[in-house]
Structure 1
Amino acid sequence: MSSAFLKNETADAPVVIPARAPLPPGVTNYVTPRGLALLRQELADLEAERGATQHDPDESERSRKLALINGRVGALNQRIASASVVDPANQPHTEVRFGATVTLHPKKGPDRILTIVGVDEADATHGRVAFTAPIARAMQGKHIGDSVTLRTMKGEEIYSVTVIDYVN
């Protein structure tokens, strides 16, 4: 049976550190103040988990868990160290930029409300899109009344920017 189907991993199996959200090479790691707070909270949670794991009586399981946690902490520390905080309050309130919450009105159908955030804070189910996403790049620089063409599974859709807000 393939080891992929086994629930228990062996102690000598390699530890796979889950990848963080991709940030293209050479691109500044912009984050909102909220995004930086979330990264720091994630780090604190991992530190607490590491502390609790150090008391695991199963030495091989403890070693695997600590290797995984330490790898995640390392990747997270790199993201925090490279973070460049952009305060939405300092953005031009008449133009779509990083940190903006934008209301897009289609020709028909419901409005879409999207907030442009850092790659680690992005969550499409809550309307937060990474600044590197095509939809965010299409909106950036737009003003109220401007049109935004988005490619969706239905084809190209044209939206009008109706609200630009920088409340975080």
Structure 2
Amino acid sequence: MELQITSNNMEVTPRLRTYVEKKTARLDRYLPSLTGIQVTLAMENTRSAVQRHVAEITIRDERGTILRAEERHSDMFAAIDAVVDKLYRQIERYRGKRKAKTRGKGEEQDLGEPLPIAEEFVEEEQVIVRHKRFALHPMSPEEAVDQMELLGHDFYVFFNADEDGVNVIYRRRDGTFGLLQPEMG
């Protein structure tokens, strides 16, 4: 398992690095197929001191699954604790879905140790309640931003004429925009 720690607008002290390593070391016990952990620590200039420190963790497993969580707090150590707790919940949900898919196939999968929060976590059944079809028109990402603004949405699916594929433009929390460009894996 590879651990990668990056930072934005702050220095990662040895104490902070050790704390992150200690907190993330247990993740592979609960998800044995874990291949990499990417931790991003940032300090943002916000009006609210409560949301100044940002901890983001992205984990990948052998199957190509990506789990990502982000938390903001007034203290970096508290943000790290909160984001690791959020990842535990995501791992529990992911393992539950994998277990449900393999039931009845007669094969056993090593899903790792039970999570420490498993008793508190109550899985809700997720049901798709609406299907929507729409025509995709070729446009540039800039035109997609304009369309998204006109509709008042936080994301917009479009056919990117420049890249010759379906993309998603979305509004980030800081007011900027992001572009998702899927690739076949």
The higher-RCO structure (CA 8 Å, 6+ apart) is 1
Please indicate, yes or no, whether the TM-score normalized by the shorter chain is above 0.5: no
TM-score (norm 1): 0.25
Structure with the bigger percentage of strand:
2
Structure with the bigger percentage of helix:
1
